[in-house]
Structure 1
């Protein structure tokens, strides 16, 4: 119980990361056609238009890995092992969000890029408190 009360912030951030990235990765996997179709249109006319399926596959894998790392990190914190995995999870989530931000900026979807800022702040706060 002490591990929970002394690590509320870290636990809540990891749950946020878990929900955000694992759900997104699962959604991409279960609705591959819908996601790639929408993104092909989203990136049409950009330098990324020809590699949309590859980009979606890379993001899908990274999101699922990030979500699974969040589960492992939660276990480590609750078991009192250490918080190193939690730090790596927060860093990977920031890298993933930067990849998504890059895509949104290339597509000139500034509103979508702005939306990612809130997610990035949460993940960077995780990096900050775990460093």
Structure 2
């Protein structure tokens, strides 16, 4: 793994896009009750079969993180909570980068490292889905 630190700049890049998406997403989650306003909002798989999908709980996570209810967000979807915190961090990085010209480090991984990143991501997604299934279908196992 190699980390590059460019010269201070205000060049708009991928990290800034993530920061702006995070800002918009968290502001919408904070001030607009999307799940109440849109009548068809919800998980079709869960409504049809009773089983949650991989993304079940993400709307609740965004709403709860935006309202600083971190424990409830974690309970709804742990990986979604980590992603929400990542987007919040990217908002801070974007402000520091675009306002103060802070350089954003660039990470370069070898093909072998990318292979392991993909394997770990699949394992983490499966563990997260197992958590979501257990908390929605078998909550008595956690008591």
More helix by share: 1
Bucket of the pairwise TM-score, normalised by the shorter protein: 0.3 to 0.5
More strand by share: 2
Task: Using structure 1 for the length normalisation, give the TM-score.
Answer: 0.39
Task: Using structure 2 for the length normalisation, give the TM-score.
Answer: 0.37
Task: Please say which structure displays the higher CA radius of gyration.
Answer: 2
